[in-house]
Amino acid sequence: MSEWIDVIQETEFSQTDRKSLVVKGIPIVIFKLENAYYAIHNQCTHENFPLADGDIEEDLIVCPRHGAKFCIKTGGVKAPPAFEDVTTYPLRIENKMIQIVI
């Protein structure tokens, strides 16, 4: 059974729009867009390259290696060379702590 895991305080996002973490051995990146939080797997599905350092274009993260684009909100692939969506993870906030289910 999945359980909520504390991962980071909301205050960690006061100076940035993303944080990369490893939770239960899984690389994730959490984004703050328009005062909402989203978590995706921190690897491009094209060549397993980290996404966390990519540019953000509205609600898309651009893979810094080959330019594949993924929707931060849904994980959906929006531009090649990737053709497979990236995994998303549910988030919630409890007492200013961001929690995730892996």
Give the number of domains in the chain: 1
**Full-model pTM:** 0.93
Q: What percent of the chain has pLDDT over 70?
A: 99
Instruction: Supply the range of the domain harboring residue 16.
Output: 5-100
Contact, 40 vs 28, CB < 8 A?
yes
Q: Could you tell me the CATH number of the domain that includes residue 19?
A: 2.102.10.10
User: Residue 58 burial (CB < 10 Å; 0-12/13-18/19+)?
Assistant: exposed
User: Does the pLDDT of residue 1 top 80, yes or no?
Assistant: no
% of the chain surpassing 90 pLDDT: 89
Residue 13: both structure tokens together: 């996002």
Residue-level pLDDT at 2: 80
Query: Are 71 and 63 within 8 A, CB to CB?
Result: no
